[in-house]
Structure 1
Amino acid sequence: MQHLKFDVTPLEELSYYSQKFNIRCLCKRDDLFNKAGGGSKARMLQYILYPLYNEKVDVFLTAGGPCSNYNRAAALLCAEMGIQMRLVSYTDNLSDYENSLNYYLTNLAGVEHIYCTKTEVVETIQKTIAEMEENAVSFRYCYGGGKSLEGVYAYYDAVRELKYQYRGKIDEIYVACGTGTTLTGICCGMQEFFPTARVHGISVARCYVDEKKVLDEDLAYLNNYLNKQYDFSNLIFHDEFLFGGYGHSSNEELKTIRECISRQGMLVDPTYSGKAFHGMCEILSEREQSGKTVLFWNTGGMMNLFSQKTEFKL
């Protein structure tokens, strides 16, 4: 599968956490992805948007909330490619529009917002598509958050990238799980390139019962495309760190984030990467890990760290 041009993201050792947990703690730094403000969504969109270079498309249509990293990355890439982006923007908490830096950046990038509540999203998307078809507007629609074959494949391919960077053994990998797209790609990629590793998916939004259907759908996309039989036998799914659901955090998580930034100098955010990093630290502190190689995949989200600054009592 082809993609837009981008640079390999760094693989680093987190020396503070290696010493703290008596392990080798590595980190794949997709927070430093070099396009569209970085993060996992920016990587996915290199694959999602590639066909638009060869198609005569005037509008990219998608949907998401005001805090979405995917929206920001899509907006910046569409601006670079000269494509108008229309965004079905939804929330039941209007203050998000005031606080979110991701929303601020989508506005700077010239996105056309179509506002609605969460319960009106499907209807609003259908109405917008019908209007564009009636007016003969050339467009491409992508499900919010990058949920697509291209999105899943991007992280299957990212594990291939990791394999070129690191030839040793990885015992465990920890990654945030929101829509499930990133986690599915990593699980399949690890089966192919690091078959003995266990993948810990730290949910930031849903319990396992609600997430399983989404994960299975993403898995089917990739298996059908690659003609493979990957599964989730290497996955350990954690929904015990939700702290009330998407966008919610706890004092313990905020303490972990402050420790990561002040001791390691790495930015993680309360919504995505920080929640996963806190989950990893809690799990590692509960059992003996001496001598293991553990990798944390930093999927980014620093805009949400800045947007949620009032949660930290400095």
Structure 2
Amino acid sequence: MKINSVSPEYKLFIDDSGVEFFVKRDDLIPDFFGGNKVRKNAFIFSQMEDLPDVLITNGGAESNHARVCSLMARKLGAESHLVLHGCKTLSGFYNGNDFIISCASSRVSYVPPEDILKEITKQKSYYESVGKTVEVIPGGAHSLEGAEAYLMAVNELEVKPDYIFFASGTGATQAGIAAGIKLKGWNTKVIGISVAREKKRGIAAIYEIYSLLCDKYNLDHDISDIIFLDDYRFGGYSKFDNNLIDFIKETIEKQSIPLDPVYTAKAYFGMISETSKIKMTRGTKVLFWHTGGFLNLQATKAI
């Protein structure tokens, strides 16, 4: 199966000081409802020697990664079993990723976060005991292959940006973009805006994958290559306030860019805040890499 993981890039606006803002729309990747998880998992699947009978992965109850894995597995003819932390939506509405996951006929186990590994091990043992082959993909596609997809994605950029901003979660996307920029020989500043993790933990997770990529592609690397800002988490994963919701509304109204309160709104908010602090000359190019997640807005409860 060929998966289209190429996304559009275009100039978004020019601010009053002449700084040019661009956006890379991975939310508009055409397959599996888009987003960075399509890029990552498409590459992960392509590296498998054989398609397993059962794919197991994990994430939150409204996980974009789980949605993509379940749809990919279904289309390829494999079963999928998702181990999700949180609870199944009890609302009568067809909400977000939960509805799409149900369309893919995935089996789902809902467990507390601390029981994820135990449940994955249990389900893997079960399927193997009945003679099925199993492949486990890390949550968020946090793997060397997942990051390598973004190293390669840097080659799609038509503009050489001075800054790249994006939502940084488990870290593979940031590791890949940072390594891809280094491979290009560009001096672009790659800035991840944390959606959940505090700086120390976030940088460690990114560097874990980044160092492997640099070793594979014979690149010099240092932990100082990783710029990870944790000032825009709005309290942590999936947490937000009315200020962020108002910001989403304003961005949609003025720029027609869809954002969600779990991932991209925090990153876009962080980008606007950070660029206002930096003295940039006319013609400076800033790229927002939109990693998707709009379906999370569809599952957001008003506060």
**Smaller-chain TM-score range?**
over 0.9
Matched, 1:220 2:240: no
Corresponding position: 1:208 with 2:199: yes
Residue 87 of structure 2 corresponds to residue 79 of structure 1: no
Distance (whole Å) between structure 2 residues aligned to residue 225 and residue 13 of structure 1: 33
Q: Secondary structure at the match of 1:49?
A: helix
CA distance in 1, matches of 2:88, 2:72: 26
Residue 259 of structure 1 pairs with residue 250 of structure 2: yes
Q: Is the 8 A contact 1:66 1:97 kept in 2?
A: no
Q: How many Å apart are 1:4 and its aligned residue?
A: 4.2
- Residues 220 and 12 (structure 1 numbering): CA distance in 2 closer, same or farther, change over 3 Å? same
Q: Say how many residue pairs are matched.
A: 300
Contact kept, 8 Å, 2:264 with 2:290, in 1: the verdict is yes
Structure 2 counterpart of 1:59: 54
1:308 is aligned to: 300
Letter in 2 for 1:296: F
CA offsets 1:183-242 (integer angstroms, 9 cap, x no match): 110111111225211111100010111112211221233234334333444432210111
| C-alpha separation in 1, matches of 2:34 and 2:250 | 22
Asked whether 1:13 is paired with 2:5, we answer: no
* Preserved CA contact (<8 Å) 1:14 1:26: yes
Aligned AA (1:128):
Q
TM-score (norm 1): 0.89
| Structure 2 residue corresponding to 1:139, chosen from 134, 137, 145 | 134
User: In terms of mean alpha carbon deviation, does 148-157 or 284-293 score higher?
Assistant: 284-293
Cα distance, 1:34 vs structure 2: 1.1
Q: Distance in 1 between matches of 2:51 and 2:36?
A: 27
- Match for 1:143: what amino acid? P
RMSD: 2.0
Distance in 2 between residues matched to 1:226 and 1:96, nearest whole Å: 43
Distance in 1 (CA, whole Å) between partners of 2:209 and 2:5 is 25
Counterparts of 1:1-314 in structure 2 under 5 Å?
Answer: 4-15=2-13, 18-20=14-16, 22-52=18-48, 55-91=50-86, 94=87, 96=89, 98=91, 100-162=95-157, 165-166=158-159, 169-193=160-184, 195-291=186-282, 292-308=284-300, 310-311=302-303
Amino acid at match of 1:77: M
- Shift, 1:123, TM fit: 1.0
Conserved 8 A contact 2:57-2:138: yes
SS of residue in 2 equivalent to 1:13: strand
1:224 and 1:97 map into 2 onto residues whose CA distance is 46
> Is the 8 Å Cα contact of residues 190 and 227 (structure 2) preserved in structure 1?
yes
- Please, which runs of 5 or more residues in structure 1 have no aligned partner? none
Name segments (4+ residues, structure 1) moved above 6 Å: none
Q: Which range is displaced more, 4-13 or 22-31?
A: 4-13
Q: Deviations over 1:112-134 (max 9, x none)?
A: 11222112111111111122222
1:138-183 Cα deviation digits (max 9, x unpaired) = 1111111101111000110111121xx23xx421110110001101
After superposition, the C-alpha distances for 1:54-81 in whole angstroms (9 at most, x for unaligned) are 5152111111111111011111111211
Contact kept in structure 2, 1:101 and 1:304, CA below 8 Å: yes
Deviations 1:253-274 (A, max 9, x none): 2222112100111101111111
| Whole-Å separation in 1 of the counterparts to 2:181 and 2:165 | 12
Distance 1:309 1:121, change over 3 A: closer
| Secondary structure, counterpart of 1:89 in structure 2 | strand
**Structure 2 portions without partners, runs of 5+:** none
Q: Secondary structure at the match of 1:310?
A: coil
Partner Cα separation in structure 2 for residue 235 and residue 90 of structure 1? 28
Q: How much does 1:251 deviate?
A: 2.9
Identity of aligned pairs, percent?
A: 32
